[in-house]
Structure 1
Amino acid sequence: MVALRAVQRFDAYQQRHGWVGVPIAVVYKFVEDQGGYLAALIAYYGFLSVFPLLLLLVSVLGFVLHNDPHLQQQVVDSALHQFPVIGDQIGENIRSFHGNPLAVAAGAAGGLYGALGVAQAAQNALSKIWAVPRHARPDPLRARLRSLLVLGGFGIGLLATTGLTVLASDERFLGAHLGVAVRAAASVAAVAVNIGLLLFAYRFFTDRSVRLRHLAGAAAGAAVLWQGVQWGGTYYVRHQLRGATATYGLFGIVLGLITWIYLGALIFVLAAETTSVRVHRLWPRSLPTLFTDKVELSQADQRAYTSYAMTETFKGFERVRVSFDPPPPRKGDGPADRGVQEAGDAPGGAEVAAGHPPAPPD
């Protein structure tokens, strides 16, 4: 009973204070949206795209710079700097790769397939997070055309952020000594480019009219976290895994790359979840909702569960009715409470059109 009362007091407190209630609501929505699986799907296709593209890069450099191995090594070191673990391994063994048409074709095809998969997985994740009904999402052809357009913009942005990250991390770049001010400015610029890329993805991959000012905060936080992940991965490789290649071999390299990509996907999904919770006012949530049906739902709970039902509508003329019965009586409830439950009243019930989910309060 003491523990139950403590939980009830904390529940009441977090529902009154946004600094606690919002993070809890984000975690709840992340769990209910199966955010871990959404991030894992993005990471899977990310792995399929990164590895072939890295091999493609090495193969192309084998053609273009075959007469200048030193410059070839410098370019590879710079370009792979953002890919801890596997980037270092390919960079150290560049001479074992020889450019040939088959490698270029395989790398291009594999990279394009994986990159389109990343874009499609990101679109699907954002549609689920923003409760976009299935009938309102773009058809498979338009979705892939949109992905190609976004990938073009991302390619340019990633080239820019790659160079800036290299400038921020190395004291010397292509033989030139970099001062502290230059490296600090490069770090800030890299974060700014990442913010722009995230805003670009969130805005064009979301079939909802979401204002940029609502997306800016989460995008900035995600960009800073991603920069930290990049620095942390580079530091770990340089100081903890140095000389460990023979021990861990390919298994450690692949696990390291997948983990690194998954962290990036997780940051992407969590930032979108945070924005969705704040824009749709999906807080405060009732703490017991994830664990039991014996709970009084808050208005935010009802809005969240209604939006989940709306997300699964397949046709624009489909109608969905969402209602919430009183919670089952808990141990110790009186006969009056049980009578209300047995009467089958449905307070909070609402009939909504499939294309028009309930709007959050302003």
Structure 2
Amino acid sequence: MGMGTAQRIDAFQQRHRWAGLPLAVVYKVFDDQALYLVALLTYYTFLSIFPVLLLFVSGLGFFLEDNPDLQRQLLNSVLGEFPVLGEQLRGRIHAFRSNGIALAIGILGSLYGSLGAAQAAQYSLNKIWAVPRYQRHDPFRSRLKGMLFLTTVVCGLSVTLLLSLAASESEAFGTDLGTGLRATIALVAVAVNAGLLLATYSFLTHHRVALRGLWAESLGAACAWQVLQWAGGYYATNVLRGASATYGMFGIVLGLLGWIYLGALIFMVAAEVSVVRAHRLWPRSLLTPFTDRVWLNWADRRAYTSYATTETFKGFETVTVEFHQRPPPGPRPAAGAADDPWGEDPAEAPSPEADPARRHRPPEDPAENEPPDADPGPPGWEHE
């Protein structure tokens, strides 16, 4: 692709929001190394799932010992979502009930995995929102915040679990569910998930985030999560159902890892979209991730400035960012957030009357906007 073609594509995506905004989100995902954050979140979430199931089975065996019918119904409903793993746990419920070691492992494992997932989510959101390191909670308060948050998540997930089970079963409490009721249950589940995501983005981010700027991304992520749940149910029912124990165990582990990874990816991408929209980090220059011989626009400068100031470890530490390249021609656009810390707001910039150097500056020459000799830019790219 020639430089002339790249220049035309760049100009097109910068003029059209529907092209420039998704590209800016993709660039920020790679700038933040969000895929590694997704892998970290997947690791802790995966570690918490099996201990939680183990704890659930042990708790049923202890609390519902005198009600075997209700115990069996709950086991068939919940463990039925995990065909092979569920059969393994269902067959060993009596062993788990009388095994204090299994119960202790379940409690410790679920706490480790759940708190790790909460910590990973906090770190990821603070990094995405470019919260300086010194403004984040210390290790003790961040874990306390994670524990408080997990109580809310458990309540919300319990509601969505009951709704998904009611929608997936042909009968619920002896009542045959029709299409309209199933659709209503699915919509309620999406609304609950959207509320959980909205609370997550707001509570775990140590940054002033306007809720009105998060609802669209939360709703979109909730819809994507619902589709992912349906896909996971189809995989468990049609791919793993009837599989041998050996193949089925590998299939459930790999499928569960992929399912959690996609869910974490949805969570992270929705957060990236929120930041790009809130701080107007678009449109980006097309070739900025690939070369230094490129003209940075205002969105590029705001993004790279935020990445540098995020690593401020102390409140008395000052990080300044300079670009050895002339700013883009034309007026500087608004950042899009009233509390944007990533550069001065155009309204706060010194006026020509307040700045004698600007007041007596001669009219701009077109050549003045060219990059300096130390950074001339690619031939035929910015100078065609």
- When normalised by structure 1's length, the TM-score is 0.87
SS at match of 1:321: coil
Aligned mates of 1:139, 1:104 — CA distance in 2: 31
SS at match of 1:111: helix
Question: RMSD across aligned C-alpha pairs, in angstroms?
Answer: 2.0
Distance change in 2, residues 1:276/1:140 (3 Å): same
Amino acid of the structure 2 residue aligned with 1:189: V
Q: CA deviation at 1:297?
A: 0.6
Q: CA deviation at 1:203?
A: 0.5
SS at match of 2:319: strand
Q: Please show how residues 18-33 of structure 1 align to structure 2 within 5 Å.
A: 18-33=17-32
Aligned mates of 1:361, 1:51 — CA distance in 2: 53
- Contact 1:46–1:115 (CA under 8 A) maintained in structure 2: yes
1:315 aligned partner: 314
- Is the aligned partner of 1:91 residue 2:78? no
Q: CA deviation at 1:141?
A: 0.9
- Contact 2:302–2:342 (CA under 8 A) maintained in structure 1: no
2:50 aligned partner: 51
Q: CA deviation at 1:312?
A: 0.4
Aligned mates of 1:202, 1:194 — CA distance in 2: 12
Aligned mates of 1:244, 1:96 — CA distance in 2: 20
1:287 aligned partner: 286
Q: CA deviation at 1:360?
A: 6.8
Deviations 1:108-144 (A, max 9, x none): 1110111000100000000000000000001111101
SS at match of 1:290: coil
Distance change in 2, residues 1:80/1:185 (3 Å): farther
Aligned mates of 2:66, 2:83 — CA distance in 1: 22
- Contact 2:84–2:245 (CA under 8 A) maintained in structure 1: no
Tell which structure's C-alpha radius of gyration is larger. Answer: 2
Q: Please show how residues 205-244 of structure 1 align to structure 2 within 5 Å.
A: 205-244=204-243
Deviations 1:324-345 (A, max 9, x none): 123xxxxxxxxxxxxxxxxxxx
1:358 aligned partner: 343
Aligned mates of 1:264, 1:297 — CA distance in 2: 33
2:37 aligned partner: 38
Aligned mates of 1:347, 1:182 — CA distance in 2: 58
- When normalised by structure 2's length, the TM-score is 0.82
Larger helix percent: 1
- Contact 2:85–2:252 (CA under 8 A) maintained in structure 1: no
- Contact 1:73–1:91 (CA under 8 A) maintained in structure 2: no
Amino acid of the structure 2 residue aligned with 1:95: G
Amino acid of the structure 2 residue aligned with 1:358: G
Aligned mates of 1:359, 1:245 — CA distance in 2: 63
Question: For structure 1, which segment, 65-74 or 260-269, has the greater mean C-alpha deviation from structure 2 after superposition?
Answer: 65-74
Aligned mates of 1:281, 1:179 — CA distance in 2: 45
Gaps of 5+ in 2: 329-339, 348-384
Q: CA deviation at 1:318?
A: 0.9
Aligned mates of 1:196, 1:80 — CA distance in 2: 26
Q: CA deviation at 1:67?
A: 5.1
Q: Please show how residues 31-180 of structure 1 align to structure 2 within 5 Å.
A: 31-66=30-65, 68-80=67-79, 87-93=82-88, 94-97=90-93, 98=95, 99=97, 100-180=99-179
Aligned mates of 2:112, 2:197 — CA distance in 1: 21
Question: How many residues end up aligned between the 2 structures?
Answer: 332
Q: Please show how residues 333-352 of structure 1 align to structure 2 within 5 Å.
A: none
1:352 aligned partner: none
Q: Please show how residues 193-204 of structure 1 align to structure 2 within 5 Å.
A: 193-204=192-203
